[in-house]
């Protein structure tokens, strides 16, 4: 069986400003007329000339402000995409504050223009009361949105970007990873499904997409209703292309509607943090290795990145990772989903940073402190893999630093990189 091409919601970044603009222009043309019919004697206590000057100043000022502010915003976003990672900056570029700020700015301009046409309408010599206060209110709202936009742009600082990425990873860990203390012994997936007949295979057809999430409760329910075990063969974060198998249905009494199955695997044009804590680590590593490149040469940023990576690894090391099996209410195995193991996460976190930072004393000392803390704080079952990485770091340092004094300095553990070293070598 095949899966109909998955479609994600159409990007509506432009819809919010368009709605603001449409509503503002229509309101500017109608409010004054409605007010004239309902409250014919009500008018603002300002002269026609003063009102026209005010409206004209607001309209001309807002269109200029909009152009300057958003030109600056787009330049900052583009610069940050180059300096950090385009995959992380796009999350900030889609911030609703940016769309609403553009909408408010546009609405203020258009409403002021439309209201200007209603001043002294029919030679009445009056200024509509409601329109005058709406223009003033929109001007104040634009000021507030400008301040909010400046605060959002401040997130493009390196420390804010690292905290933002780390927070996304922590949210994903809390939402999708089960605690080691809540585990029960489960059958290994390979043993449970080895002899079951394969009834259905669901494949992807369409353009390349990323697996963004798997609806685990819904798939367990579908499997239970048909007496089957569903084996998901793609991991969250994988890119699927034409004819890539997504899942297998094993041992079912009757076929499961492929549309229901397909709707339980969320596909999109890019990876997300939704069920993918390793994506946060991936982005942090990208920032670190870019900082370690000869063009930038900023090992301090790499050290700050390792602070966030260590926090994520400490949290992941206390979670259930390797056994992606899920049971129904009766304890029957219903779903098998691939998850990254502890070794996979350590490799993702350390491989590239240790390679590109091998000649940086600061980075090596911070990594020594990181593995030392992982060994100290994580459960015993996590420690052998970390000890192997500790040995690899020692070997890497010995190869990179031929001078014995430099090697001794690089072997020290220091959470600041070059700050306050610990007295012992890493475990």
Task: Please give the model's pTM, rounded to 2 decimal places.
Answer: 0.77
Confidence at residue 349, expressed as pLDDT on a 0 to 100 scale: 96
Q: Which helix (H) or strand (E) holds 30?
A: helix 15-38
Confidence at residue 194, expressed as pLDDT on a 0 to 100 scale: 66
Beta bridge partners of 112: none
CB neighbours of residue 250 within 10 Å: 20
DSSP 8-state class, residue 157: S
Confidence at residue 6, expressed as pLDDT on a 0 to 100 scale: 36
Place of tokens 């040995």: 391
Confidence at residue 184, expressed as pLDDT on a 0 to 100 scale: 40
Distances (CA, A) of 281 to 66, 288, 316, 342: 36, 10, 11, 13
Is residue 298 within 8 A of residue 291, CB to CB? The reply is yes
Confidence at residue 427, expressed as pLDDT on a 0 to 100 scale: 43
What is the rounded CA–CA span in Å between residue 98 and residue 151? 11
Strand arrangement of the beta sheet that strand 239-240 belongs to: 239-240, 209-214, 265-268
DSSP 8-state class, residue 380: G
Confidence at residue 9, expressed as pLDDT on a 0 to 100 scale: 36
Confidence at residue 426, expressed as pLDDT on a 0 to 100 scale: 43
Rounded to a whole number of angstroms, the CA Rg of the chain reads 29
Confidence at residue 413, expressed as pLDDT on a 0 to 100 scale: 92
- Per-residue pLDDT reduced to its tens digit, 367-398: 999 999 999 999 999 999 999 999 999 999 99
SS3 292: coil
> Which residues of the chain, if any, have pLDDT below 70?
1-13, 41, 80-81, 83, 86, 89-93, 122, 177-195, 322-323, 423-427
What is the rounded CA–CA span in Å between residue 55 and residue 60? 9
Q: What is the CATH number of domain 185-341?
A: 3.90.1170.30
What is the rounded CA–CA span in Å between residue 407 and residue 212? 43
């Amino acid at each position: 069986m095949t899966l109909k091409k998955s479609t994600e919601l159409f990007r509506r970044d432009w819809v919010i400003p368009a709605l603001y603009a449409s509503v503002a222009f229509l309101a500017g043309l109608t409010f004054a007329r409605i007010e004239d019919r309902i409250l014919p004697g009500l008018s603002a206590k300002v002269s026609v000339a003063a009102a026209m000057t005010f409206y004209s100043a607001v309209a001309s000022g807002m269109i200029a402000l909009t152009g300057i502010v958003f030109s600056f915003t787009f330049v900052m976003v583009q610069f940050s995409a180059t300096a950090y990672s385009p995959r992380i900056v796009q999350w900030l570029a889609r911030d609703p504050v940016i769309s609403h700020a553009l909408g408010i700015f546009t609405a203020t301009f258009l409403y002021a223009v439309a209201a200007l046409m209603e001043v002294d309408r029919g030679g009445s010599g009056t200024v509509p009361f409601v329109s005058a206060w709406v223009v003033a209110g929109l001007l104040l709202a634009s000021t507030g949105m400008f301040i909010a936009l400046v605060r959002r742009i401040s997130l493009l600082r390196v420390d804010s970007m690292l905290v933002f990425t780390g927070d996304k990873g922590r949210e994903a860990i809390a939402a999708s990873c089960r605690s080691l203390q809540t585990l029960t012994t489960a059958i290994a997936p390979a043993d449970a499904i080895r002899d079951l007949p394969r009834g259905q295979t669901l494949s992807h057809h369409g353009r390349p997409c990323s697996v963004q999430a798997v609806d685990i409760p819904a798939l367990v329910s579908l499997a239970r209703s048909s007496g089957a075990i569903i084996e998901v063969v793609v991991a969250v974060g994988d890119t699927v292309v034409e004819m890539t198998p997504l899942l297998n249905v094993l041992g079912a009494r009757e076929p499961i509607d492929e549309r229901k199955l397909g709707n339980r695997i969320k596909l999109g044009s890019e990876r997300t943090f939704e069920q993918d804590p390793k994506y946060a680590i991936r982005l942090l590593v990208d920032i670190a290795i870019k900082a370690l490149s000869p063009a930038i040469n900023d090992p301090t940023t790499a050290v700050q990145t390792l602070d966030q990576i260590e926090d994520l690894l400490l949290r992941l090391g206390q979670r259930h990772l390797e056994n992606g099996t899920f049971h129904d209410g009766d304890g029957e195995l219903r779903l098998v989903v691939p998850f990254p193991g502890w070794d996979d996460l350590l490799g993702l976190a350390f491989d590239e940073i240790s390679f590109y930072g091998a000649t940086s004393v600061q980075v090596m000392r911070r990594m020594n402190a990181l593995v030392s803390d992982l060994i100290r704080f994580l459960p015993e079952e996590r420690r052998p893999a970390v000890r192997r990485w500790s040995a690899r770091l020692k070997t890497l340092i010995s190869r990179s630093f031929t001078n014995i004094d430099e090697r001794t300095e690089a072997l020290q553990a220091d959470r600041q990189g070059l700050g306050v070293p610990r007295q012992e070598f890493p475990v």
